[in-house]
Structure 1
């Protein structure tokens, strides 16, 4: 899932950690890193096809890099922490989103629907030539992104085609093909800042009560959690709080909590030899049988089967 480093003091909101993804080449996850493509000013260039069950990284940020996501199929969502607020963005096919350097963000424990997207990082801080551009055009591109007013935009089909061709050419590993792909990518980059913004109502700020619930779950997932408890902490009735959470997150609080705890349990199953019954109770599950039932529902296997599978790899 990538290298995680502690963020410098004051760098991000919410105790986020820096995430540095390694080179990856799998069927549904392909990441071409800077040390592989060698292009100044370009970070990772990636393609991902995600299922609902795929784990998501914890709250993280990228130092000195803008990160752009372009959804080509399905729906993709992310929470961005900025200026003391958490804003949740829901992207559909044909939409793009930019994350600015140092912004803490997370998709939650899992996506709510399958999706397919391209993502890449560009270095907008500092000086010097980037992306094979001369100094004048390097400065112009950086300035465009520094002054960008809208982060959530509509991406025309022609621009999605540019991005797809760029990634396919990068994927060959051949210097000449990569150079051609860079021209497509640069063309996309200059157009991205001019794309039509998505209406604000489609990228609305997450309800403060939902933001509270998400933070509370992250900080207390090792304890028993239920709707009534979280509603009481937020100062609302259980039924009203549940309706707000469902509207904002697209899933019930119970399903969200269970999925979040399962993802955390995976980490413990991989990194420790703790007996499953002890792990279940330490994580606040009501019984080891219930833990195994929920775990199998989301992963298709029991905790023991999952541990043995990971050990075999």
Structure 2
């Protein structure tokens, strides 16, 4: 049998890798994709275990780019050939890779099946032992190719007789094992572990048929085909195996999808059960095995968080109440395991943004917010992200309590109130007041609400309406002039504010006062 030419795909964009994988019928053309990598360093780690004949690599990638990868491959593995993917703007890099011995290059905008196949055949002809090799004559897709295409979302027609031959039983399910990405680089370990799972299933479930889904980025996935009467045995075998393995390798986690009866349902179940179980893992970090049919009852999704009320509590420095309600809400949200992970993390980040914005005068909080955004974004589990938020909230309470409870803050508050009493006839604003006392406006607002029953604006309006009431009772000044005498430039606005605070219009207030004398 002719040897297949082994190919490694290296690109930091998963969609590009997927596109290349399904651009050709690789095995029919005499090639085999033996792996993927998202940067040059991952590719070098892969080469230590596998020995591909051809490496197809992008140029611009994080960690290690394609230019450096090409140089190291040709230095340490001169027998391997490299094909470079590039855009028009990267020609200088491509020229450099040719100096290092690259076999050929393909422009990404012109990446088509026929062009790729021609470059692959030409490159294969340079490899000793493969140069005269013809493509296998069997034009049928292998089971591995069919499965990898199906779960990737590609439509594919499969002969019914072929399906019955490969999968003789009436029930299907996906078994997944999530493996740490650093462990995935050790192909020898992954192959050994996959074999141990296969052996366990064969020993415990008579007649079971299993196929590995190739190209998985987060671990190992099997499609199981079994007699319906063996389903409970399979579940029990997976439970026992996962519990025994996790004792020595606590980072491993397993999933078992819902069972289904038709091979044509595989793509849908893969997305709606297997992939979702992997997503639910974010909210179940300590469950070694998630089984679709044994998921706990879903709690109701909590109502939308009242951010307006929360912000008002921050302004008034009612942090104990605000943070207690927030923690309860986040806990409730984490119990709704169907929550979108991105939205969950975005909510936590938005809370941190709002809090740091409110207390922007606290330098430590402001300086660390971007690091907190990044930490939450990288959190693997909900409790980890919640813990990051919790530490932040504790820090906010410590920082703000030291500011508002200090004797200096009380002295500052008295100076503020005295200044307002003396200058209420002037066009005062919180910004101007903060500038006068060399405070941050946000801090001044928080300080004011922390030491008074009302905010700055409400306090100023109270003073002005009290003074206006005195002038109205004195009966000397015309009502039209009193508004400007107490600091209001707009008479109609003065009348509106006065009525809001006293319940009467200025003229009504004056009439009532004189009628009572």
* Greater share of residues in strand: 1
* Greater share of residues in helix: 2
Q: TM-score, normalised by structure 2?
A: 0.21
Greater relative contact order (CA < 8 Å, ≥ 6 in sequence): 1
Q: TM-score, normalised by structure 1?
A: 0.34
Larger Rg: 2
